[in-house]
């Protein structure tokens, strides 16, 4: 689950986009991930961070499913024999949502967190780091910039950075 959560966060994916990632969707040479049939049946390419590629390679050793990046191996990985998964389907939504709930309860996070929260965080963190709204829109697979702006809940850090930029620009 750790690898799944990191992959979804670092690529800004929706729950099902992450679940349905296939081995062939990863283009390590170009540093891209092909997202097939996202919302609105749209395909897109997303930048693959090196940290995510390395984590996926470590994870690959544990399952090596021919098709699914995140196969439904069952409890205690009963469908993985000697590091090779024979699962015919990806993990279930319920498994992922249950793990998220368990983790946030265990650490007493105090706020309701869903997998979609990771997508919001991805967009917000990119914006705060100075990435353009247009790039974020494309990465999230939005047709409209208005849709992207809904995700951008600026944190205090983002507001502080804005103040620094304004002060720097308008120096007398």
Residues tagged active-site: 14, 39, 116, 119, 142, 151
- Residue 35's DSSP bridge partners are 44
CA distance 21 to 25: 7
Q: What share of the chain is helix, strand, coil (3-state, %, to 5)?
A: 55, 10, 35
Please check whether residue 87 is in contact with residue 77, taking contact to mean a CB–CB distance below 8 angstroms: no
* Closest-CA residue to 10 (of 37, 44, 48): 48
CA 144 to centroid of chain Cα atoms: 20
Contacts of 169 (CB under 8 A, 6+ apart): none
Rg (CA), the chain: 18
């Amino acid at each position: 689950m750790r690898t799944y959560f990191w992959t979804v966060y670092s690529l800004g994916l929706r729950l099902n986009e992450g679940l349905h990632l296939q081995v062939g969707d990863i283009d390590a040479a170009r540093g891209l991930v092909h997202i097939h049939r996202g919302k609105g049946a749209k395909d897109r390419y997303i930048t693959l961070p090196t940290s995510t590629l390395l984590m996926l390679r470590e994870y690959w050793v544990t399952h090596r499913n021919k098709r699914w990046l995140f196969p439904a191996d069952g409890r205690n990985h009963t469908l993985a024999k000697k590091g090779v998964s024979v699962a015919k389907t990806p993990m279930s939504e319920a498994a992922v949502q249950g793990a998220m709930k368990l983790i946030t309860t265990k650490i007493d996070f105090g706020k309701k967190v869903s997998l979609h929260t990771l997508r919001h965080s991805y967009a917000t963190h990119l914006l705060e780091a100075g990435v353009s709204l247009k790039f974020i829109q494309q990465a999230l697979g939005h047709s409209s910039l208005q849709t992207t702006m809904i995700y951008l809940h600026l944190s205090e850090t983002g507001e502080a950075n804005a103040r620094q930029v304004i002060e720097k620009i308008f120096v007398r």
